[in-house]
Structure 1
Amino acid sequence: MKMNKTLRTLLMWLPSVIITLFFVPNALDKILNSSQTDKIVANSSIMIATGVFLLVSTGMFLYNKTILIGTSLLALYMTFIVFIHMYKGKPYEVAILIVMATIFASYIRKPQLFHPKQEV
């Protein structure tokens, strides 16, 4: 019985960890290498602010009480990235999958957030 609970918890957190392993290095790259010239916004302070935004959003995504806000912020950010990739003519399918995976990981951890409240 203990093994089932441990396995369930591990499988429940696995998508969130994978999403985190995408967003955290992306955020650190934006903070530490803020003078990227091939981006739409070449201003280094905006890149650093975006990196901090991603770190804060990822932290909110991992914390159960703020999972909905964190998921919304990460999905919104990646939706903007999808539009930027479409505008630049780059492949955008992976970015769409990341948006879907972020929402899916949130749903796996807290499905009651996605169900409407039943009125009695």
Structure 2
Amino acid sequence: MNKVLKIVLTWLPSFVIVLIYIANGLDKILNPNQTGKVIANSTIMTVTGIFLLISVLLFLYHKTLVIGTTFLALYMTFIVFVHMYKGKPYEVTVLIVIATIFAAYLRKPVLFHK
């Protein structure tokens, strides 16, 4: 029972993060003509959505966790800067960046130690 609980608690933050990124990626693919964005090109929005979904898959697979985490964290860091530039609240996006790195740490803590 303890082993199952440990696995569930280790993967729970990853699933929450994955839901955020999947919803964001699907929104960019299914609704590429969003207004009020820095880049209003529908092709770029669709490519960004595909990039997010591929990054999520890399994040979920154990061997490519570092690559997926890097892509997701860099994407959301860029979004933080966009929110700061536009004067929008950016605290939630900063928390998503931190949570992404924390979820990767929980799943593979060896990467963060010397």
Judge same fold: TM > 0.5, yes or no: yes
Runs ≥4 residues deviating over 6 A: none
What is the identity, as a one-letter code, of the residue corresponding to 1:86? M
* Higher Rg of the two aligned structures: 1
TM-score between both structures, scaled by the size of structure 1? 0.94
2:79 is aligned to 81
Q: Secondary structure at 1:90's aligned position in 2? A: coil
Match 1:70 to one of 59, 68, 71: 68
2:26 is aligned to 28
TM-score between both structures, scaled by the size of structure 2? 0.99
Deviation at 1:115, TM superposition (A): 1.0
Paired with 1:46 and 1:114, the residues of 2 have a C-alpha distance of 33
Match 1:100 to one of 98, 101, 104: 98
1:53 is aligned to 51
Deviation at 1:7, TM superposition (A): 0.3
Computed over aligned residues only, the root mean square deviation of the Cα atoms, in angstroms, reads 0.4
Deviation at 1:37, TM superposition (A): 1.4
Identity of aligned residues (%): 66
1:12 is aligned to 10
Match 2:112 to one of 107, 114, 120: 114
- Structure 2 gap ranges (5+): none
